Amino acid sequence: MIKQTKETRIKKENRRLRLIYKNLPDDKMRIVDGLICEAAYMRITLQDYREDLDESGYVEAFSQSEKTEPYERERPVARLYNTMNKNYQSITKMLSDMLPKIEVIKDDGFSSFINERED
């Protein structure tokens, strides 16, 4: 399977998110537009980071010079992944809050009462 370029994957994610928010009013869409762009970039980048971490792990042997013993340290990509993941979650929360709320009608028991009487 041919792996798509990062740019192509970001564009696909951007389109996917825009479909979710296509019915927003124009004023909200102007706000959401930037968040969608950032969320798409972050999601694809996080996938790449996660793939790298799965292959190479979260820690690496590191030494300041040839004369010192190497020690295990967190790989820089692990720190980047954690930071970006936190920011991605914040953006997705903001996006989620922009969606119209679905009103749940609480069952007061009347419908069940009527349905039972009809049986």
Q: Where are the beta strands (DSSP E) in 4-116?
A: 59-62, 71-74
Distance of CA 2 to the CA centre of its chain: 24
pLDDT tens digit string along 65-77?
888 888 899 999 9
Output phi, psi for 70, to 5 deg: -70, 150
> Across residues 72-92, what is the average pLDDT?
96
pLDDT at 118 over 70: no
pLDDT at 2 over 60: yes
Structure tokens at 71: 């020690």
pLDDT tens digit string along 19-59?
999 999 998 898 899 999 999 999 999 999 999 999 999 99
Looking at per-residue pLDDT, the higher value among 110 and 35 belongs to 35
The DSSP annotation for 20-38 comes to HTTTS-HHHHHHHHHHHHH
